[in-house]
Amino acid sequence: MAGEDRILAGGAKYIDFQTDPSRYRHWKIAVDGDVATLTMDVDENSGLFEGYQLKLNSYDLGVDIELADAVQRLRFEHPGVKVVVVRSGKNRVFCAGANIRMLAGATHAHKVNFCKFTNETRNGLEDSSENSGQRFITVVNGTAAGGGYELALATDHIILADDGAAAVSLPEVPLLAVLPGTGGLTRVVDKRKVRRDHADFFCTIEEGIKGKRAVQWRLVDEIAPTSRLEAKITERATQFAAASKRNGNGRGIVLTKLERTIDDSAIRYGFVSVDINRAERIATISIKAPETAPPADIDGMIAQGASFWPLQVARELDDAILHLRINELQTAMLLFKSHGERANVAACDGFLEANKAHWLVNEIRHYWKRVLKRIDVTSRTLVTLVEPGSCFVGTLAELVFAADRSYMLIGQKQGDNRQPPAIELTAMNFGAYPMSHGLTRLQSRFQADPADLERAQAEIGKAIDAEEAEQLGLVTFALDDIDWDDEVRVFLEERTSFSPDGLTGMEANLRFVGPETMESKIFSRLTAWQNWIFQRPNAVGEDGALRRYGTGQKAQFDMTRI
């Protein structure tokens, strides 16, 4: 199952983010022409950990891993699907949200990483709607509380059963003394444009809002009596499909299982490898260029399927980042390296740019965008080393620009006959991969003077050596062979000695400059406050609301406001 405990060679357990529909325990996918139905039918006895049951379609990380996989497969495996209906398989309940017993018993790190992943998954629904043309409709047939309503908020259209019982609610503040953890506050006011005073009332009542008031306050889009609910779903799905811009045709490609080996100190994929040095608290992620140029045409790409290099590397890197986030909590730093033929990476970028109108190429480009965003919001120091033999070209060069620090060697190392390192820019660095706040990484880097961005863009297709890369502002430092080892070593040792709390706060503040979007608010403002509130005694103390929920005892709060 998704999220089931796996065992490393040394006996340690880890959470696996790989799954497929044959192993789902909580979701069902049904495709009928241009409409797919995602049915949430949570197996209450298949929680990720012991000590709780997933009653009333409540969820934990394992449930969300399946949802993320399902949404990804709908994008890649079903190009003809234009509308996705999200509904419940249980009577008179849509989803009770994140499981409270799970939250009460989880470590602080797990709670925060759980919220981060659920946020990324729901942002993925909106990304699919905006960029793939797969519109999402939620059918609320009963209670949609907390995270259940937040799931509905991430979709394009909410239909609420008008039966006197079905309701939507965000009861976290009055019930649990925490915030809605998956963008609920932000989406209510920023996306659905609910009035602030109405939102204040809504977010401080336990029972939620139903019927006509839910429509009037913009909390849902429409209501339908139970007798007409199915007809209303069909009507809206037909309408949305007709308006969809999705232009996929024919068969999709199967997202086959990633070939991967994991042991105590390494993860090995086809093109991505991760080496974990626990003594130094550093995970080194190395990416290998393709050994050949991309296929000549679209047919050749489709024939390669999930083994097409840009897609395979994106999937492997995504899996590696998720693994490190939640299973290697002591890791302080992600250190990126690359190796291989630069020309082949450049050719792959050229293919993605030349064929961007094709539905599958479009999906691959947007997948890379989401993987890079996942790296941006990962709470580890990000460092990139550009060394001889590296292939930081175009898409892979984004790892240089995403880094908190980047170091590039001038010339060669003594005794190393590989070519001196070079960075190469492509069209993909200038718009294909925006960050959460809407700017590309180079736009974010060169906010002080747009002319710097223009100078960089003029270098597309050229091999940029270390000194020029430093002059253009593409790397932090260019170092010669004499200084390289000592400078890098001192930085790594110093950085890993700092407080992880201080670093997380500092890095998150510095990575996103300039404008705010709904997505960046969710990952900055919400994550920062939720991270703090999840450690406060009012929420997680022995007398806190999360601990006392369901016991019949009232939470005891420290009433000091700070």
User: Is the CB of residue 329 less than 8 Å from the CB of residue 278?
Assistant: no
In a domain, 550, yes or no: no
Residue 229 forms part of a structural domain: yes
- Bigger pLDDT: 254 vs 524: 254
Residue 550, pLDDT score: 87
**Residues 212, 273 share a domain:** no
pLDDT at residue number 303:
96
- Report the pLDDT averaged over residues 230-253: 94
Of 44-58, 220-234, 495-509, 522-536, the least confident: 522-536
* pLDDT for residue 3 is more than 80: no
Closest CA to 409 of 337, 499, 516: 337
pLDDT of amino acid 6: 59
pLDDT range class, residue 1, cuts 50, 70, 90: very low
| pLDDT above 70 for 5 | no
- Locus of tokens 């960075």: 423
Among 488, 505, 522, residue at a domain's last position: 505
Q: How far apart are CA 53 and CA 50, in angstroms?
A: 8
Q: Across all residues in the chain, what is the average pLDDT?
A: 95
- Per-residue pLDDT tens digits for 84-140: 999 999 999 999 999 999 999 999 999 999 999 999 999 999 999 999 999 999 999
Is residue 275 a part of any domain in this protein? Answer: yes
Q: Does some domain include residue 212?
A: yes
Lowest mean per-residue pLDDT among 181-195, 474-488, 513-527, 539-553: 513-527
The separation between the first and the last C-alpha atoms of the chain, rounded to the nearest angstrom, is 43
The answer to whether residue 470 scores a pLDDT higher than 60 is yes
Looking at the fold, whether 188 and 336 belong to one and the same domain comes out as no
The residue segments making up the domain with residue 415 are 261-505
DSSP string of 53-114?
A: --GGG-B-HHHHHHHHHHHHHHHHH-TT--EEEEEESSTTEEE--B-HHHHHHS-HHHHHHH
Query: Domain check: are 203 and 278 in the same one?
Result: no
The CATH number covering residue 177 comes to 3.90.226.10
Q: How confident is the model at residue 12, as a pLDDT?
A: 55
Structure tokens at 252: 């999709």
Query: Are residues 283 and 137 part of one domain?
Result: no
Residue pair 109/266 in contact by the 8 Å Cβ criterion: no
What confidence score (pLDDT) does residue 4 get?
45
Residues 388 and 313 in one domain: yes
pLDDT digits (tens, 9 = 90+) for 219-234: 999 999 999 999 999 9
pLDDT of residue 461: 97
Q: Same structural domain for residues 188 and 101?
A: yes
Q: Is residue 554 part of a domain?
A: no
Would the pLDDT of 167 be above 70?
Answer: yes
Q: Are 228 and 287 members of one domain? A: no
3-state SS track over 385-444:
EECCCCCCECCCCHHHHHCCEEEEECCCCCCCCCCCCCEECCHHHCCCCCCCCCCCHHHH
Question: Residue 310 belongs to what H/E stretch?
Answer: helix 309-327
Query: What is the rounded average pLDDT of the residues 278-300?
Result: 97
Strands 13-15, 5-7: parallel, antiparallel or unpaired by DSSP? antiparallel
What is the distance of C-alpha 465 from the center of its chain? 33
Is residue 9 over pLDDT 80? Answer: no
Is 108 part of any domain? yes
Closest alpha carbon to 2 in 13, 11, 15:
15
Are 391 and 457 part of one and the same domain? yes
Q: Is the pLDDT of residue 333 over 70?
A: yes
Indicate if 380 and 456 belong to the same structural domain.
yes
368 and 473, same structural domain? yes
Instruction: Examine the domain organization and report whether 153 and 282 are in the same domain.
Output: no
Contact predicate 466/421, CB 8 Å: yes
Q: In terms of domains, do 475 and 330 share one?
A: yes
What percent of the chain is predicted at pLDDT more than 90?
Answer: 89
Is the pLDDT assigned to residue 259 strictly greater than 90? yes
Domain contains 29: yes
Query: 553 lies in a domain?
Result: no
CA neighbor of 180 nearest in space, from 190, 194, 169: 169
Q: Please, which pLDDT band fits residue 7 given cuts at 50, 70 and 90?
A: low
What's the pLDDT score for residue 123? 96
Task: Provide the domain count of the chain.
Answer: 2
